[in-house]
């Protein structure tokens, strides 16, 4: 085990959490930029849907490819590459002069975003003691809320005065952060221990192991769960400013309302972090997903400003708390040798939902389907994921990761 450097929980959380914040900032900014581009480029509803979906196509590719590469070359090295990938791509997308060029860059950005999330959660899971693991991973996810809040602030203060291009240039700054992480962040002790003690199987062998008899049931459960969560999240949240505008509010007001709703993500994460080591991963996931489904239905049917904001805040509270629990739960399903591959494959399959969600909204909006019906679809999809979790999922609270270091 010589040469394996350890790091304090607080420092690990700060270093990886800051990267997670940058990730959320980019995704959050996109939801506001879609609404701004509609006016600047006179986009159709279908084109608006494709912007979000292309981003998710890239995330699906990134989650699968980088998740597998993390099992081969290490969590830290691939984590840095994904951060650099989406930062540079996002900055370059600010100079797009056409819809086609913009979505090409968004594909590149999505690859980095999709790869970073499962790799970072795997790195943190393998670097924290059993008693703190779930709480720390959920707190890692809470940085997502901070990134979204920053994106809402940038959208509210920057986009109306200076344009969406400046907002995207700001999202390129995380590229410089990789220079600091390169020396400040150690790799996973479990990965390093495994690398020292045994040979390396091929990526194809690892993919086969994920679907072997031992792991097939949990893989099936995890894929369906990821699909339902990602499908509903990206279908709803990438369209939030636009949906609010469709309900009769101007773009500036919609940005402000989304900012208020986004702030509710933080107590959602903190509540999930507090509960996850006390009540367990399954309890938190089931409870928060049911809360998400009910809030989605209510938001779709909201007519007044008060009901819109309250339902939107509850939607943010429950949905993002569920995301935190999902990232804590996923790496605990597999042993060290296939943890990055298994988590990445589940996230990649989930990103297919992220492709279909925004496209579905764009298609239905273009056909003048009421938002109440659209959000009911997302409500039902979440319940499907909950059912698979209840019947096929196993509680992993206080359980050691296989081949724990």
The tens digit of pLDDT for each residue in 156-176 reads: 888 888 989 999 998 888 778
Residue 2: predicted pLDDT: 44
How many domains is the chain built from?
1
In 3D, which of 246, 222, 234 has the Cα closest to residue 67? 222
Q: What share of the chain has pLDDT > 90, as a percent? A: 41
Note the Cα 262 to chain centre separation in Å.
Answer: 15
Tell me, yes or no, whether 331 lies in a domain: yes
The range of the structural domain enclosing residue 99 comes to 9-172+189-392
* More confident call, 154 vs 400: 154
Q: What is the CA angle 202-207-211, rounded to 5?
A: 145
Residue 183 has pLDDT above 90, yes or no: no
In 3D, which of 3, 1, 405, 16 has the Cα closest to residue 185? 16
Residue 405 has pLDDT above 60, yes or no: no
Looking at residues 97-121, what average pLDDT do you find? 91
Tell me, yes or no, whether 402 lies in a domain: no
pLDDT in tens, 299-324: 999 888 889 899 999 999 999 999 99
Q: How confident is the model at residue 196 (pLDDT cuts 50, 70, 90)?
A: low
Q: How confident is the model at residue 48 (pLDDT cuts 50, 70, 90)?
A: confident
Looking at residues 87-113, what average pLDDT do you find? 91
Q: Which residue has the tokens 């509903």?
A: 232
Residue 73 has pLDDT above 80, yes or no: yes
Tell me, yes or no, whether 399 lies in a domain: no
Q: How confident is the model at residue 279 (pLDDT cuts 50, 70, 90)?
A: very high
Tell me, yes or no, whether 183 lies in a domain: no
Residue 345: predicted pLDDT: 95
Looking at residues 62-71, what average pLDDT do you find? 89
* Terminal C-alpha separation, the chain: 9
Residue 402: predicted pLDDT: 55
Looking at residues 273-301, what average pLDDT do you find? 95
Provide CB contacts within 8 A for 377, sequence distance 6+: 360
Please compute Rg for the chain using Cα positions. Answer: 20
Tell me, yes or no, whether 177 lies in a domain: no
Looking at residues 323-330, what average pLDDT do you find? 93
Q: What share of the chain has pLDDT > 70, as a percent? A: 94
Q: Is 249 helix (H, G, I), strand (E, B) or coil?
A: coil
In 3D, which of 201, 171, 34, 165 has the Cα closest to residue 109? 171
Total-model pTM: 0.81
Q: What's the CATH code of the domain at 282?
A: 1.20.1250.20
Tell me, yes or no, whether 181 lies in a domain: no
Note the Cα 293 to chain centre separation in Å.
Answer: 18
Looking at residues 126-150, what average pLDDT do you find? 86
Note whether 125 and 332 are within 8 A (CB).
Answer: yes
């Amino acid at each position: 085990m010589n040469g394996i450097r350890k790091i304090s929980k607080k420092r690990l959380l700060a270093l990886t959490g800051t990267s997670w914040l940058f990730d959320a900032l980019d995704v959050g900014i996109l939801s506001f930029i879609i609404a701004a581009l509609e006016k600047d480029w006179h986009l159709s509803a279908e084109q608006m849907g494709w912007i979000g979906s292309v981003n998710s196509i890239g995330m699906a590719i990134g989650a699968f490819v980088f998740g597998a590469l993390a099992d081969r070359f290490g969590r830290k090295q691939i984590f840095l590459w994904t951060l650099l990938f989406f930062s540079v791509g996002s900055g370059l997308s600010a100079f797009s002069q056409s819809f086609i060029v913009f979505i090409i860059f968004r594909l590149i950005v999505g690859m980095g975003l999709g790869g970073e999330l499962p790799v970072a959660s795997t790195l943190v899971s393998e670097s924290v003691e059993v008693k703190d693991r779930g709480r720390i991973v959920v707190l890692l996810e809470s940085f997502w809320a901070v990134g979204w809040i920053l994106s809402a602030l940038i959208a509210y203060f920057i986009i109306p005065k200076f344009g969406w291009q400046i907002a995207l240039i700001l999202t390129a700054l995380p590229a410089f952060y990789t220079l600091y992480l390169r020396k400040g962040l150690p790799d996973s002790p479990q990965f390093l221990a495994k690398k020292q003690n045994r040979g390396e199987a091929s990526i194809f062998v690892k993919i086969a192991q994920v679907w072997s008899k031992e792991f097939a049931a949990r893989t099936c459960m995890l894929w369906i769960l990821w699909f339902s969560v990602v499908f509903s999240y990206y279908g709803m949240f990438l369209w939030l400013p636009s949906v609010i505008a469709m309900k009769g509010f101007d773009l500036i007001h919609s940005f402000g309302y989304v900012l208020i709703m986004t702030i509710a993500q933080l107590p959602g994460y903190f509540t999930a972090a507090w509960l996850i080591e006390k009540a367990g991963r399954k309890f938190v996931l089931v409870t928060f997903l049911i809360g998400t489904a009910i809030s989605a239905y209510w938001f779709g049917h909201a007519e007044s400003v008060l009901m819109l904001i309250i339902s939107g805040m509850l939607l943010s509270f429950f949905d993002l708390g569920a995301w935190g629990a999902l990232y804590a739960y996923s790496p605990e399903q597999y042993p060290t040798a296939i943890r990055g591959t298994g988590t990445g494959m589940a996230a990649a399959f989930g990103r297919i939902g992220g492709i279909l969600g925004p496209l579905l909204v764009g298609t239905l909006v273009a056909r003048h389907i009421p938002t109440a019906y659209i959000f009911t679809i997302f409500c039902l999809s979440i319940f499907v994921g909950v059912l698979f979790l209840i019947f096929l999922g196993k509680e992993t609270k206080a359980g050691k990761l296989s081949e724990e270091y």
